[in-house]
Amino acid sequence: MILRWIGLGIVLISFGLGWTWMAYESATDSALKLKQPLNFEINKGDSLKHIVNKLVTQGVLTKPFYFNLLVRFENAASRLKAGAYKILPGMTPRQLLGLMVEGREYQYSLVFIEGWTFDRILTALSAPPQLIHTLDGKSPEEIMALLGAGDQHAEGRFFPDTYFFTKGTTDLNILKRAFQKMDRTLNSEWENRADGLPLRTPFEALILASIVEKETAQADERPIIAGVFIRRLQKSMLLQTDPTVIYGMGKRFNGNLRRKDLRADTPYNTYQHKGLPPTPIAMPGAESIHAVLHPQKGNSLYFVARGNGNHVFSSTLKDHNRAVALFQKKRKRRQ
């Protein structure tokens, strides 16, 4: 009789353990009850109990007992990493634990766009609350010194791209990555530049690339416009490009470039001063840098915007003036 009861006890215990194990497997490998992504943070010093309670409160876990078992079985209690995580619908508790053990924090993104000025970059950097803001109130000169480039002008020195970061990254860190990427890109293009260019340094190439960037958004036109400016430099002609004049006007520019503005004597007025302006006027992209160092050959020395994003190119001043007159006539018709 005793053996029978012992046998029955063993069977019941085995059944209970089996049922518990199946429930555990089901609970840890089934999708979390989330309908939309959820941001979740683990702060330094948070205990396992505190983390689990937060997950329950925010509706991530409905069976915390099994999650606690999972953590114990995986010996993960001391390996949960502080950080900001994105918990996605369809994720299982086991995947969630892996996320936090490996420290795969959510990657935020910040985009620097071709043609932006340094002021616009700083404005973008000041926006994300996930960044640690260390640059507020600092001058461009102070910022460049922090980057170890105190002898360089800030304009145009940063590469336009999408930069990913985790919460707690500093704004200076992102700026440093953009600075280093521009440096690598520019030097690589400079090493493979075409022969016979009237550009003495990578910095001069950067200046001209920033002008090309501001002159057109059409990728196929960049080498053509670069060729126009290269030939004008070779012939010691004035560049006569509106974007440099506008940059030199600063906040005085109200969207309307007038004849008297073209006569204003600023270092950036390429209608008044031969050669390149003293610094870049914006942040050029890789295509503009490549175009300047590999310009399209040809005879054109002038170009005028059609008004639809494209340009008309001319080899003589007579043809250029005719194109300008035609464009102005069409513009008046649209007004």
Element (H or E) spanning 84, and its range?
A: strand 83-87
Please report which residue ranges of the chain form alpha helices under DSSP H. Answer: 2-29, 48-57, 64-73, 93-102, 118-125, 140-146, 171-191, 202-215, 222-234, 242-249, 259-263, 286-293, 317-334
pTM: 0.84
Asked whether 304 and 312 are in contact (CB, 8 A), the reply is: yes
d(CA 163, CA 36): 25
Q: Is the pLDDT of residue 207 over 90?
A: yes
What does the mean pLDDT of the chain come to?
88
Element (H or E) spanning 42, and its range?
A: strand 38-42
d(CA 6, CA 254): 93
Model confidence pLDDT, tens digit, residues 211-231? 999 999 899 999 999 999 999
Q: Average pLDDT in the 297-325 region?
A: 85
- Greater model confidence, 232 or 326: 232
DSSP state for residue 163 in the 8-state scheme: E
d(CA 17, CA 160): 59
Altogether, the residues listed in the chain come to a count of: 335
Comparing 21-25, 70-74, 302-306, the range with the smallest average pLDDT is 21-25
Model confidence pLDDT, tens digit, residues 15-47? 444 445 465 566 677 888 888 999 999 999 999
Query: Residue 33: what residue type?
Result: K
Model confidence pLDDT, tens digit, residues 281-293? 999 999 999 999 9
Q: In the prediction, which pLDDT does 11 show? A: 42
Q: In the prediction, which pLDDT does 276 show? A: 97
Q: In the prediction, which pLDDT does 293 show? A: 98
**14: confidence class by pLDDT, cuts 50, 70, 90:** very low
d(CA 93, CA 27): 8
Q: Is the pLDDT of residue 87 over 70?
A: yes
Among 147, 169, 171, 167, smallest CA distance to 157 is for: 147
Comparing 44-48, 222-226, 316-320, 329-333, the range with the smallest average pLDDT is 329-333
**320: confidence class by pLDDT, cuts 50, 70, 90:** confident
Q: Average pLDDT in the 136-146 region?
A: 96
d(CA 309, CA 36): 41
Contacts of residue 324, defined as CB under 8 A and 6 or more positions apart, other chains included, come to: 304
d(CA 160, CA 115): 8
d(CA 259, CA 245): 11
Q: What is the CA radius of gyration of the chain?
A: 31
Angle of CA points 200, 189, 304, to nearest 5°: 75
Q: In the prediction, which pLDDT does 29 show? A: 79
Give, rounded to a whole angstrom, the gap between the first and last alpha carbons of the chain. Answer: 106
Residue whose tokens read 């000041």: 126
Pairing of strands 38-42, 302-305: unpaired
Q: Average pLDDT in the 71-100 region?
A: 91
SS3 88: coil
Element (H or E) spanning 111, and its range?
A: strand 108-111
Q: In the prediction, which pLDDT does 26 show? A: 66
Q: In the prediction, which pLDDT does 164 show? A: 96
Q: Is the pLDDT of residue 13 over 80?
A: no
Q: Is the pLDDT of residue 5 over 90?
A: no
Phi first, then psi: what are they for 214, rounded to 5°?
-80, -20
Query: Residue 81: what residue type?
Result: K
Q: In the prediction, which pLDDT does 240 show? A: 95
**296: confidence class by pLDDT, cuts 50, 70, 90:** very high
List Cα–Cα distances, 37 to 13, 33, 172, 285, in angstroms: 40, 11, 29, 34
Percent of the chain with pLDDT strictly greater than 90: 67
d(CA 60, CA 68): 14
Q: In the prediction, which pLDDT does 9 show? A: 46
Model confidence pLDDT, tens digit, residues 172-197? 999 999 999 999 999 999 999 999 99
**7: confidence class by pLDDT, cuts 50, 70, 90:** very low
Contacts of residue 33, defined as CB under 8 A and 6 or more positions apart, other chains included, come to: 59, 60, 62
Tokens matching residue 120: 């616009």
